[in-house]
Amino acid sequence: METIRLTTAQAIVKFLDNQYVSMDGVETKFVEGFFTIFGHGIAVGLGEALDTNPGGLKVMQGRNEQGMCHVAIAFAKQNCRKRIIACASSVGPGAANMVTACATATVNNIPLLVFPADTFASRQPDPVLQQLEQSSSLAVSTNDAFKPVCKYWDRITRPEQVMTALISAMRVLTDPAETGACCIALPQDVEGESYDFPSYFFEKRVHRITRPVAVEEELEDIAEIISKAKKPLVIVGGGVRYSDAGEAVEQFCEEFHIPFGESQAGKSACKSSHPCCLGGIGVTGTYASNHIAKDADVVIAIGSRLSDFTTSSKRLYQNPDVKFVTINNCRFHAYKMDAVKAVGDAKVTVQALAEKLRARKYVSAYTDEITKAKAVWDEEMKRLGAIEYTGDGFDPIIKARDPRTIPEFVKLTDGKITQTAALAAIRRCIDADATIITAGGSLPSCMQRMWTTDKRGGYHAEYGYSCMGYEVAATLGVKFAEPNNEVYCVVGDSSFQMLHSEIMTIQQEKQKVNILVFDNCGFGCINNLEMNHGIGSLATEFRYTDGKKPCGDLIPVDYAKIGEGYGLKTYTCKTIAELEAALADAKKQTVACLFDLKVIPKTMTDGYESWWNVGLADVSEKESVREAWKGVKEGRDEARKY
C-alpha cells in the first residue's frame, strides 16, 4: 500500500482540498479555504501546514473567532450549503468564542467545520497556557463546550484518528437532513505528530447530495388530507431554499390555488411577486399571511422547523379542525406539530405530491380571499413606507411609554428618519439583484414583513438563533459567495456594537460591501417587548447611568467616524432624502461603504394578528404587568397543545 508521511495538520489540509459535492449533476469544490486567528495551540501546527502547502485552499485572517465563523456560515448559506469555509482557533478563549457561532449554524442547519486547538494529549506540560482545568476530569477542556451545539464532535488524540474523524464530518456536513456545525478538536502536540497515511485517503472524493422522494405511503397520506381541504396554506421554509425548490413550490401553489407564507429562512426561495405569495408569516408576519392562516384548515409546512415565530407560538392557526402536513428531509422536523409527514427532498416530493393531487382533480375552495388580503397589505405597505416625522405631535407606530424618548432623540441627533420609511427607501434604491442581510432585533421583524424581492436567495436572514452581531460578518460571507453583486446589511446600533470587528477583514480582502447602521440609541426590539408587557424601560436604551441603572440622558454615537477609522466610505443620513442620495453615491464607490442612519425610536412595524408566548411574571406589584399577564394567559389558553 502506497503511503505518504504527513503530520495530522498537513493531512487535514490535504484531505479538505480534495472534497467535492455533486447535486443535480453539478460538481462543486466543497471547501473554499480556512478562516483563522492564529493564536496559541494552532499557529505552529495547522499554521505550518497552511503555510507550507495550502494547495487550492485560501487562507483568511479573522478578527474575532465568532465573527469569522459568521462569515463562514453566511458563505455556506448563500451557496445553498454546497461550499464551506473551515475555521480554526487557539486553544482557550479563541475556541470558546466559536461556540456561539456553532450553535447558530446547527440551529439553522448550515454546515460549519471548526478546528479549535486543544490542550496536550500527552498531558506532560499541563496545565498549559489557556488551559481550562476541571478537578473532576483531566480529560475535560474548553472544547467540551462544543458538544451540545454541534452535530458532530471529535477530539484527535492520535494522528491516524483524523481519517475517520474527517470522513464522519463530511458525512454530516453534506447531509441536508442532519447538517450543522462539526467540531474536530486538535490537541496541539498531535497537530505536529506524523503518520504514514494511505495515499488513497487523499484522492478526490465527491459527496453526492441526493433528492430522496417521500415513500408512496406517506405521499398518499398527505395527498388524502390536502384533497379534502377547502382553505389550505403552504409555509415556505428554509428547506425550499436549500433544495432549489422555489419554482416547484410556486407551480404547485398556482396549480392548486394555494397561498403561501414565508418563514425567515424560506423568504426569497419564492418570488415576492408571485400571486400566491402572502409574505412573511407568524410573529413577524404580514397581515395577509396571518389573516389567511387563522382560517386555514390544512397547513402544509415545506422545509420548515416550525419555530414559535412561524407558528405564532402555536396560536396562529385558529381553525378548530386544522390539520398539519409536513414535507421535510429531516424526520425530526417532519414530526413537529403532530403533523402527518412526508420525509423527503422538498423539490421532488412537492412534484410527486402534485401528481397525486392532479389525479384527484383537486383545487382549493378559495375565491377572492387571497387577493383581498394581499390588497389590504399592499395599502399598509404604502402607509409604512410613507411615515414621516411631523414634530412634537408625531405618533409613532409603537407607543412609547417614556414621553421624552422621541423628542430627546430628534433633538440629540437631528435624525428624522422612520425605520419603515428607511426600509422602503432602501428597497426602491438598490438594484433588483442585490442581496440584503439581517439578523436579530426589530429589523428582521420589519424586513420579513416589508422586504420584497424576486431574486431567489436575495433575502439573507439569520433568525433561527437570532444571533446579534451576525450581520457585518455575514455581509462579507455573502459577498464572497456573490462577488459580482452588491450586498447590503441592515444592522441595529446595538448589534453593530456587539460585533463589527470583521470590517477590518472586509478591508483586508478588498471587498465592496454596504453596511447600514440603524441608530436608534438602544435595543429597540427588546425595549418594546419590555414596555408592551408592563415593564419599565430598563437597560434597553443607551442612557447614562445614575449609579443604579441607566436612566439618564441618551448617549450619542457617531458610527460614521467608526467606519472612517477603518477606511470605509461613510455617510451620515438624517433624512430619507439624504439616505437616497447616499445609496446612489455608494453604487459608484469601489470600497466598502457604511451608512449611519439616525432612525427615530418606536418607528418599526407592529404585530399583525400575531402573538408571542413570553415568560411574564404571573404575580407582580405593578398593575401594568398584571394587565399584560392577562393577554399572555389568554394566548396560552388559545394556543394548540403538543
| Same-domain status, 21 and 147 | yes
Q: How far apart are CA 575 and CA 297, in angstroms?
A: 45
- CATH number for the domain spanning 278: value is 3.40.50.1220
- The pLDDT value given to residue 401: 65
Q: In this model, does residue 393 exceed pLDDT 80?
A: no
Mean pLDDT over residues 519-539, rounded? 87
Does residue 475 fall inside a structural domain?
Answer: yes
Q: In this model, does residue 402 exceed pLDDT 90?
A: no
Tens of pLDDT, residues 45-55: 999 999 999 99
| Same-domain status, 355 and 437 | no
pLDDT band of residue 65 (cuts 50, 70, 90) is: very high
Cα 449 versus chain centre, distance: 16
pTM over 0.95: yes
Tens of pLDDT, residues 257-306: 999 999 999 999 999 999 999 999 999 999 999 999 999 999 999 999 99
Domain carrying residue 246: 216-371
Residue 80 contacts residue 30 (beta carbons within 8 Å): no
607 or 198: whose pLDDT is higher? 198
Residue with cell 422555489: 246
Task: Using the 3D structure, point to which of 312, 344, 371 is the last residue of a domain.
Answer: 371
- The pLDDT value given to residue 465: 94
Strand-pair partners of 5:
196
For residue 88, report the phi and psi dihedrals to the nearest 5 degrees: -135, 145
Task: Using the 3D structure, point to which of 320, 336, 371 is the last residue of a domain.
Answer: 371
pLDDT band of residue 342 (cuts 50, 70, 90) is: very high
Residue at 602: amino acid letter: K
Q: How far apart are CA 201 and CA 15, in angstroms?
A: 7
C-alpha cell at 353: 405530491
pLDDT band of residue 396 (cuts 50, 70, 90) is: confident
Does residue 604 fall inside a structural domain?
Answer: no
Q: How many CA atoms lie within 13 A of 374 on its CB side?
A: 15
| Same-domain status, 436 and 468 | yes
Does residue 434 fall inside a structural domain?
Answer: yes
| Same-domain status, 201 and 220 | no
Q: How far apart are CA 347 and CA 558, in angstroms?
A: 47
| Same-domain status, 367 and 396 | no
> Residue 85 belongs to what H/E stretch?
strand 84-89
Does residue 605 fall inside a structural domain?
Answer: no
| Same-domain status, 494 and 627 | no
Tens of pLDDT, residues 244-261: 999 999 999 999 999 999
- The pLDDT value given to residue 16: 98
- The pLDDT value given to residue 626: 94
| Same-domain status, 430 and 558 | yes
Q: In this model, does residue 370 exceed pLDDT 80?
A: yes
Closest by CA position to 600, among listed 394, 386, 384, 393: 394
Mean pLDDT over residues 130-134, rounded? 91
Q: How far apart are CA 77 and CA 79, in angstroms?
A: 5
Q: How far apart are CA 595 and CA 573, in angstroms?
A: 7
| Same-domain status, 318 and 403 | no
Tens of pLDDT, residues 430-466: 999 999 999 988 999 999 999 999 999 999 999 999 9
Does residue 630 fall inside a structural domain?
Answer: yes
| Same-domain status, 58 and 198 | yes
Residue 180 contacts residue 105 (beta carbons within 8 Å): yes
| Same-domain status, 391 and 440 | yes
Does residue 603 fall inside a structural domain?
Answer: no
| Same-domain status, 30 and 158 | yes
Average per-residue pLDDT in the chain?
Answer: 96
- CATH number for the domain spanning 462: value is 3.40.50.970
Give, in order, the Cα–Cα distances in Å from 175 to each of 22, 109, 343, 462, 464. 12, 10, 14, 20, 19
Peptide bond into 127 cis (omega under 30): yes
How many domains does the chain fold into? 4
Does residue 379 fall inside a structural domain?
Answer: no
Classified as helix, coil or strand, 91 is coil
Name the DSSP letter for residue 283.
T
| Same-domain status, 181 and 50 | yes
pLDDT band of residue 524 (cuts 50, 70, 90) is: confident
pLDDT band of residue 400 (cuts 50, 70, 90) is: low
Tens of pLDDT, residues 146-196: 999 999 999 999 999 999 999 999 999 999 999 999 999 999 999 999 999
- The pLDDT value given to residue 404: 78
Does residue 310 fall inside a structural domain?
Answer: yes
Residue with cell 494552532: 42
Mean pLDDT over residues 333-341, rounded? 97
